[in-house]
Structure 1
Amino acid sequence: MNILITSAGRRVSLVKAFQTELKKLVPEGKVMTTDSNIRMAAACHVSDNAFQLPLISDHDYINILLTTCIDNHIKIIIPTIDTELLLLANNRDVFIKKGIIPIISSPKFINITRDKRETHAFFVENNINAAKEYSKYKYKLPLFIKPINGSRSVDNFIVKKQEDLTEYHFKNNELMFLEYLDHNCFEEFTCDLYYDKKGDLKCVVPRKRIEVRDGEVNKGLTDKNLLLDYIKARLSHIEGAIGCLTAQFFKNIETQEIYGIEINARFGGGYPLSYFAGANFPKWILQEYLLNQEIDFYDGWEDQLLMLRYDNEVLVHENEKRYSTGI
């Protein structure tokens, strides 16, 4: 009854959340982690055990991951980074046959979330506004430019003047020219969504993004606003969606008009705020996939809970697997 969090990196809070919830339901259970460099991955020193795996691009990655799971009695896999999602989804049955359950959406849905054009089409199909995409030959300033397939705000540009556009923007076929949604007019929210094994929505937690660092929320606030009913009405069921999704929306401050921006089919870096507010996704995953229990819709999480993140230390002592946190 062990859990494996892959590509754990800095996900210390996520590891601790699963440890807390697993001990309540399965006291002897352990939360383990993988990374391509476990010595340099803070979460691997906080977990109960850690395994160094090759990069996801390695042709033998799935076989090594499967062997690691079998040897260590892993029942559930929690992926954490975009680049591993499709690989794990395409090989889900390989793990299921061995009694190991990757908490991963379907390949079809992951392809929608990984391709921003497909994501925008998905929003429109579900009666959600999406930013207009311009041709690179006919556009209107200001622009927001981002990759079709990207993460962590890499290659994102706000272009307000013609001279700010470069040859790189025009010749890179992976970049999209989009309508710019002015942050002076819109509030930005990341919503943590929980979908059960049937693809039914069980929880919505809008988190206002007050400050972002390296594409991840650094200051955030839970906010019970109209996004709750808006998402429930439009995304109550998503075929192939499983577990935690993070969806980004912009809400116009004056008109309350809402635009869908993107979806990630995994735990987001800011999920700990939702967890501490009471939206207990780790517990629900354990109840569904270990105990075969039904999950009810939950909206009893704490409103207006403010999260202020700061840097902390994990100290790794020579020849020891122990860790300590500094101030």
Structure 2
Amino acid sequence: MNVLLTSSGRRGYMVNYFKKVFNPIGGKVHTCNSERLCSSFKAADAYIVAPKIYDDGYIDFILSYCADKNIKLIVPLFDVDLLILAKYKSIIKSHGITVVVSNEEVVRICNDKWSTYKFLKSQGVAVPRSFIDVDSVIKANQDGILAFPLMLKPRWGMGSIGIRKIHSVSELKFFDDYVKTEIKNSYLKYESAITPDQQIIYQEYIEGDEYGLDIVNDLNSNYYFTYVKRKLAMRSGETDIAVYEDNKDLRTLGQEIASSLKHIGNLDMDVITSNGLHYVLDLNARFGGGYPFTHALGVDLPRLIMEWVLQIKPTDFKFKDLSNDVFFKDIIVS
């Protein structure tokens, strides 16, 4: 079985994880990206420069390439791909191709931080107080409901683009305009166009211990497991240094969210624990930048995906006892 990883970018380590699973069964790992200068191309068995995800011909291009290369599995690696692939999931399936992406509703909940906030709140999960317009933020501050500092983020944000810590009303007004310009000049403009008049979300600043969870459901949205890591350092919006933590409360939280959200594959979730509460900040319905830490613990999600697609008995993974080890991303992916 051949597999295509879309928007592979700099994630050569993901290509290698999939090659270790698919090459031994005669499969090749293909990658595509809209930019030719893409380091993950070096790791792939084959690659192609694709149109941008929002180009009208993108899906036809992908289907044609998959037919030509006998590709039966597509795994997106970037948030921008998710909504489009989810929208055309049934068409892709009609061509005999499995795409590991959640349905449109789930992707919208995860990609749109305001929808994330409303979903989590409806589930009784602790979340930072959030607002969708500047006037509401200023009024909440004047009423003593929201204190500075606060976090300003693109509503349809990804990575660390446009995130600002705000300390005053004057900063709020300045960066509100500034970040909207950043959005306009980046790939965030595509999904932000869905809510053109409300492109920013403003959130209470929570200080505490930061965690990243990989929450896995199978291809039928059945819960499988949750892995918890405590973040020690971040770089460009991704976990750079972390340590494994067997946190029962967070594992339970992961299972509860997985069971209600009904995502497919991996859900990358960011949590801050403060004053005994677990505040959920973000949901990302794909392999997150912190997945290598989970992989280093002995979990092989690419293998699970292969086994689920081929309908063979899933591997019974044994987690390594690495509770006291500090993991550095640049070392574990090298």
Q: Under a length normalisation based on structure 1, what TM-score does the superposition of the two structures give?
A: 0.86
Mapped to 2, the partners of 1:295 and 1:199 lie a distance apart of 18
Partner of 1:20: 20
Mapped to 2, the partners of 1:157 and 1:240 lie a distance apart of 31
Mark the CA change 1:264 to 1:87 in structure 2 (over 3 Å): closer, same or farther. same
Partner of 1:81: 78
1:20-169 pair list within 5 angstroms: 20-24=20-24, 26=25, 28-38=26-36, 40-134=37-131, 135-138=136-139, 139=141, 140-169=147-176
Residue identity matched to 1:4 = L
Residue identity matched to 1:196 = D
What does the per-residue CA deviation read over 1:182-234, in whole Å, with 9 as the maximum and x for residues that have no partner?
A: 2xxx11111111111221221111122211111111112221113112322x2
Pick the aligned partner of 2:200 from 175, 198, 222: 175
Q: Give the SS at the match of 1:194.
A: strand
Mark the CA change 1:236 to 1:216 in structure 2 (over 3 Å): closer, same or farther. closer
Residue identity matched to 1:149 = W
Q: Is the 8 A contact 1:200 1:238 kept in 2?
A: no
Mark the CA change 1:203 to 1:302 in structure 2 (over 3 Å): closer, same or farther. farther
Q: Give the SS at the match of 1:136.
A: helix
> Unaligned 5+ residue runs, structure 1?
313-324
Partner of 1:10: 10
Mapped to 2, the partners of 1:256 and 1:303 lie a distance apart of 25
How far did 1:295 drift?
7.4
Q: Is the 8 A contact 2:212 2:230 kept in 1?
A: yes
What does the per-residue CA deviation read over 1:168-187, in whole Å, with 9 as the maximum and x for residues that have no partner?
A: 427954222211102xxx11
Q: In the comparison of the two structures, how many residue pairs are matched?
A: 304
Q: Give the SS at the match of 1:191.
A: strand
Bigger helix share: 2
Residue identity matched to 1:7 = S
How far did 1:279 drift?
1.7
Structure 1 residue 210 corresponds to structure 2 residue 232? yes
Residue identity matched to 1:136 = V
Partner of 2:192: none
CA RMSD of aligned residues (A): 2.3
Percent of aligned pairs with the same amino acid: 26
Partner of 1:198: 220
Q: Is the 8 A contact 1:85 1:104 kept in 2?
A: yes
Q: Is the 8 A contact 1:222 1:302 kept in 2?
A: no
Mapped to 1, the partners of 2:120 and 2:261 lie a distance apart of 14
* Range that drifts further, 202-211 or 61-70: 202-211
Residue identity matched to 2:257 = L
Residue identity matched to 1:191 = L
Mapped to 2, the partners of 1:117 and 1:46 lie a distance apart of 37
